[in-house]
Amino acid sequence: MKKVATPEYDIKDKLKYHVSALSTAAKEVVMPLNITTHYPRERRKWPDCFRGYILFDPERCISCFECSFVCPANAIWMKEAPSGRYYPTLDYGKCIFCHFCVDSCPGGALRSTKIHDVAYKNMDEMFTHTEEMIEPPEIIREDEGYVEYEIDKEDLTLKRTKGKDKLIVDVAPSQGVPMVSLCIDRGSCIACKVCEKVCESGAVSSLLDEAKMIIKMKIDSEKCTGCGLCVKECSMQILRLVRRE
């Protein structure tokens, strides 16, 4: 345990500390340890892992709804595309840039950019449709250079570089563990067809068992993207997501 005592100043100390405060100030006027980034004429260079605006790649999306489910701000709503599949839209009026969605996306369809400095004139514009999330947006850029914070053992120094910082980082899209849906108890299937209706890849089909004259569901593991929606919705809870071997 360390005890911290508050100092008691006598007149000598007072003088000493007056002088030290004044001299510190004077030193800074002469040789300032300036750390200012002159935004908008220059930008700070953020690390590549910076969490900013989100881009979307429909090719990779398996319409699993996970981004929407996990979003703590409920900023992602899924929108039906012409093909009948659901793709995310993103409301920047709610998004808190936690990137839970990016981390959740098993297909690696969502990725981050370093765009973050945007001002909107009205709130409706903040709602970003799927179509707008595919190509990197263009923002007003007045910057002619960028600043890097360099911390060495002595102090923080600013490294200034001319030129525009790249805001779209190329990170390898993440890939979740590939999964596939599997029925573990075919006997219990009541053929409610929920799985068929919810599947967006057309992987589930119903099959008439001629012999017993009952309908059973069949999952085509080739088509199945492993989105897990059928598993979630199954009324009998007999579907499981398993690793695609």
Partner 1 sequence: MEEYKNANMRIINSGPLAPFRKWASKWSLWPCHFITSCCGVELAHAFAAGYDGERLGTLNMGISRQSNYIIIEGTITRKMARALQFVWGQMPDPKFVNVIGACGERGGIFWNSYNITHPSDIVPVDFFIPGCPITPEALLRGVRATQDKIVGIDRKTIEFKRVELPFEKQLEERMVPTSPKLFAPTPLIKVDVKREVDWGKELEDNLKNKLEGLYESITITGKSSIAIKTTQENLKEVAQKLREQMKLDHVKSVNVIEVPHERKFIVEYIISSYTEEELMPVLVTVFVEIGLKDPKIESLTSIWESANYSEREMHEFFGVLFDGNKGMGKKFILAPDTPDLPLRKEFKIPEERYVFEKDMPLDELMVPIEPPKDLYIPISEEFIEEAYDNDEIVVPIGPHHAGSGHLRVTFRIKGDIIVEAIPEPGFVHRSMEKLAENRLYIQNVPLFERLAINDPVNMNLGYVRTLENALGIEVPERAQYLRTIMAELSRIEAFYYDSGIFSLFFGHTTGFMYSMAIREMVIEVLMGMTGSRSGPSFLVPGGIRRDISDDVLKLTDNLTFAIHKRMKKFEDIFVYNPVTIARAKGVGVLTKADAIRCGIVGPFLRASGVNYDIRKIAPYEAYDKLDWEVTTGDDGDCLGRFLGRLAEIKESVRIIKQAVDAVRSIKGPILSADILGEYKEAASDIKGNFFRVFGNLVLPKGEWTTITEAGRGTLLFSIISDGESNVPYRVRVISPCWMNLRGFMEALKGARYADFWAVYGSFGYFPPEADR
Partner 2 sequence: MIDINAVISMMMNNQVDIPLLQPLLKPMLEMPLVGYLIALVLWKPFFVLILMPGFATLGIMLLILPWIERKMVGRMQWRVGPREISPHTRGIIQLLADSLRFLFQEVIIHKDAHRSYFLQFPFLYFIPVLLPLLFINAGTAGNPLVPIVSDYGLQLMVALICLMPVFILGVGWASNNRFAFIGTVREAFLYFAYEIPFIIVVLAMIVLYGTSNTVGVVNAQSGVWWGIIQNPLAALTFFIAMVMATARLPFEIPEADQEVSFGPFVEYSGIAFGLAYVMGYEKMYVLSALMTMLFLGGGSGPVIPGLGELSYAIWFVLKTLIVLVVMANLRGVYPRYRLDQALKIGWGAMLILALVAVAWSLVMGVIL
Q: DSSP readout, 169-229?
A: ---PPP-PPPEEEEES-GGG-----HHHHH-SSS-EEEEEETTTTEEEEEE-TTT-----H
Q: Name beta bridge partners: 156.
A: 151
Q: Given the complex with partner 2, which of 28 and 80 has the nearer CB atom?
A: 28
| Candidate list 35, 96, 207, 208; residue touching partner 2; CB under 8 A | 35
**Residue 40, preceding bond cis, omega within 30 degrees?**
yes
Query: For residues 47 and 187, which CB has a smaller minimum distance to partner 1 in the complex?
Result: 47
Beta bridge mates, 240? 182
| Partner in contact with 204, chosen from ligand SF4, partner 1, partner 2, none, beta carbon below 5 to 8 Å by kind | ligand SF4
Residue 90, C-beta contacts closer than 8 angstroms, at least 6 positions apart: 54, 75, 76, 127, 128, 133
Q: Shortest gap between Cβ of 228 and partner 1 (angstroms)?
A: 7
User: If contact means CB under 5 to 8 A according to the sort of partner, which of partner 2, partner 1, ligand SF4, none does residue 2 touch?
Assistant: partner 1
Out of partner 1, partner 2, ligand SF4, none, which partner does residue 90 contact, by CB within 5 to 8 A per kind? ligand SF4
The answer to whether 73 contacts ligand SF4 (rule: CB under 6 A) is yes
Q: Using CB under 6 A, list all residues that contact ligand SF4.
A: 61-67, 70-73, 75-76, 88, 90, 95-101, 104-107, 109-110, 181, 198-199, 201, 203-204, 219, 224-230
